[in-house]
Amino acid sequence: MNESGLPPLPCLCASFRRAARALTQHYDEAVRPLGLRVTQFTVLQALSITGEVSQVRLGEVLAMDSTTLTRTLDIMRRSGWVSRRRGEDRREWRLRLSALGSDQLRRALPAWKKAQQQMASKFGDKRWHDLFQLTDQVTAFASNTGDLS
């Protein structure tokens, strides 16, 4: 058993997925009162960082498969949080945060920051920073956009 009391999983993917599910539950609890899921919050946050972006590029930024991203975006568009328009190529969609999406993100930030701070306080500054570096490295390696050096 490890410090969580759970048996260690021999597969890195299984271990990261278990950690991701636990993290998702933690952040979902924080943003749920605002009518959001953390996956939606992440899309709002990503669009606030990238500005207008193609759906393909947004999927790359989030390492999210097209089907899942399309389903999430459809829900968010119906809520009025995301706007889209056709790109130069009629097959391309350009996405951006709508005014309602910006408002929803602004309302959710305090709850997200609280959840973020709860996690950060458990790890301390160095380990917290190291976790971000490690997840960036794993993502780059696994998505074939970089290496672990």
pLDDT for residue 1 is more than 80: no
Q: CA-to-CA distance for 108 and 3, rounded, in angstroms?
A: 31
Position 103 pLDDT exceeds 80: yes
Q: What is the pLDDT of residue 119?
A: 94
pLDDT at 54 over 80: yes
0.75 surpassed by pTM: yes
DSSP 8-state class, residue 34:
G
pLDDT of residue 5: 81
Pair 42, 62: CB distance under 8 Å? yes
Q: Is 90 exceeded by the pLDDT of residue 145?
A: no
Q: Which structure tokens are listed for 23?
A: 């993290």
For residues 31 and 147, which has the higher predicted lDDT (pLDDT)? 31
What would the mean pLDDT of 61-87 be, rounded to a whole number? 94
pLDDT digits (tens, 9 = 90+) for 125-140: 999 999 999 999 998 8
Residues near 98 by beta carbon (within 8 Å), at least 6 away in sequence: 80, 81, 82, 83
Going from the C-alpha of 118 to that of each of 13, 112, 114, 125, the distances in angstroms are: 25, 10, 6, 12
Beta bridge partners of 96: 83
